[in-house]
Amino acid sequence: MKTPPIVTAEEWEEHRQALLTREKELTKARDALAAERRRMPWLPVTKPYAFDTANGPKSLLDLFEGRRQLIVYRAFMDPGVHGWPDHGCKGCSMVADQVAHPAHLNARDTTLVFASRAPQSDLVRIKAKMGWEHIPWHTITDDFDKDFGVDQWHGTNAFIREDDKVYRTYFVNNRGDEAMGSTWSYLDITALGRQETWEDSPEGYPQTPPYEWWIWHDEPVR
């Protein structure tokens, strides 16, 4: 392995500062891209979809759990994938391993769920084995995966609701899913974003000052 040069502390700091300038440019570009996502048009979801859940059958609207936004990751925790029946897809399992506590998404009026084609009995077993109890896992029972581009590959769909009307607002897959897992990465793909006052969002979007909405995950959501 050809290693980088060995330098003094002063030289090292000079290089770090040069990279920091570029990193700040990347952060601003990422923020600008998220602002464009918040201006994406909304696609009405008119077809009814049904899921089997730990609490019985539910519709897509039910998966919001009363919140305004919903994020659905299509995980291949399915019979027939490599590793079954002890495991699901390695990549999807890695995504699940990265998921932060959903309470922080809930604090921004957003619900996160994972959906696959495995029966609930298998999902309950694998969740317990892998330590994914904080993630709601639902079973796809119809053409949801085909209709939303995730029947052959993983992907993350974002939805929003206005009363009982549901709209698709964004979709990311392939390497785009690599960044998923943190509260921030999920909020940045939603129609409402982080909902903080510094963000460039359309007029009237919900926003509060940074930090004030943060919670401990074991306290009730304000």
Q: What is the DSSP string of 173-199?
A: EGGGGGGBTBHHHHHTTSSSTT-BTTS
Spans of all domains in the chain:
13-187
Q: Mean of the pLDDT values across residues 5-25?
A: 97
Q: Mean of the pLDDT values across residues 53-78?
A: 97
Q: CATH assignment of 13-187, given 3.40.30.10, 3.30.365.10, 3.20.19.10, 2.60.40.740?
A: 3.40.30.10
pLDDT tens, position by position, 187-216: 999 999 999 999 999 999 999 999 999 999
Residue 169 has pLDDT above 80, yes or no: yes
Q: How confident is the model at residue 9 (pLDDT cuts 50, 70, 90)?
A: very high
Count of alpha carbons within 13 angstroms of residue 38, beta-carbon side:
23
Arithmetic mean of pLDDT over the chain: 96
What's the CA gap between 202 and 38, in Å, rounded?
Answer: 8
* CB 180 within 8 Å of CB 15: no
Type of residue found at 11: E
**Which pLDDT score is estimated for 178?**
87
pLDDT tens, position by position, 95-136: 999 999 999 999 999 999 999 999 999 999 999 999 999 999
Q: How confident is the model at residue 222 (pLDDT cuts 50, 70, 90)?
A: low
Q: Mean of the pLDDT values across residues 71-98?
A: 95
Helix, strand, coil shares of the chain, percent, nearest 5, are: 30, 20, 45
Nearest to 111 by CA among 157, 145, 144: 157
